[in-house]
Amino acid sequence: MLAGPALAESKRPDADKSRQGGSFTSTRAADQNALRQPARAVRKHQRMDFVLGQAIFEKFWVSAPSSTTASDGLGPLYNARSCHQCHVGNGRGAAPDVEGKPPASLVARFGSSGPEPVADPVYGTQLQTFSTGGLNPEGRIKLAYSSKVIRFDDGEQVSLRKPGHQLDLPHGELAATTAVSYRSALALAGVGLLE
């Protein structure tokens, strides 16, 4: 039953292939802020929701109690002080270029490989790499790169870097049944259209 409307939609002529999102396509130049723009079709009364949502997304949270009660509530364990720290410009996370620098938009998720996902008994479902109030974080993710030079058929050589991950876990090792999944922050562009 759903194929009918989709088929009818696909037969319409597309005058402008550069606007694949139709009226939801942004017309701003493709720069570092391209993913931060509201869609053109968002109505004036909806733009305030967009602006307020973006402000909360970029807000730096602080530990409670603080003089800025509208911004407190961080911790005691956390991964970033704002959503924006991991999802820079609403885009996907990036690994640091410098070896040894903590990966800001990379998290270590924990679970079991059985039919029912089970959190690690010590670290839970995600390693919290920062803390407030003099507490120690749960641990750190260490990132190191190995390089490999490859040669194309035309003789050109390039060096590829492969990231390697290691966990520094001061509260003991993970349970034998715990699996680790490293995840980079996803791009957020277009997610609002699903709601």
Predicted confidence (pLDDT) per residue in 91-119, tens digit: 788 777 777 777 888 999 999 877 777 89
For residue 70, the SS3 value is: helix
Who wins on pLDDT, 194 or 171?
171
Identify the bridge partners of residue 161 per DSSP, sorted by sequence position: 147
pLDDT tens digits, residue range 119-159? 999 999 999 999 998 899 999 999 888 999 999 999 999 99
pLDDT of the residue at 51: 87
Q: pLDDT-based confidence at 57, cuts 50/70/90? A: confident
- Nearest C-alpha neighbor of 41 from the set 56, 21, 60: 21
**Distant-in-sequence, close-in-space partners of 83: CB < 8 Å, separation ≥ 6:** 56, 57, 58
φ, ψ of residue 98 to 5 degrees: the values are -100, 125
Who wins on pLDDT, 6 or 65?
65
Whole-angstrom distance, CA of residue 106 vs CA of residue 94:
8
Instruction: Give the mean pLDDT of the chain.
Output: 81
Which helix H or strand E contains 108, and what residues bound it? strand 106-112
How does strand 157-168 pair with strand 178-184?
Answer: unpaired
pLDDT of the residue at 4: 38
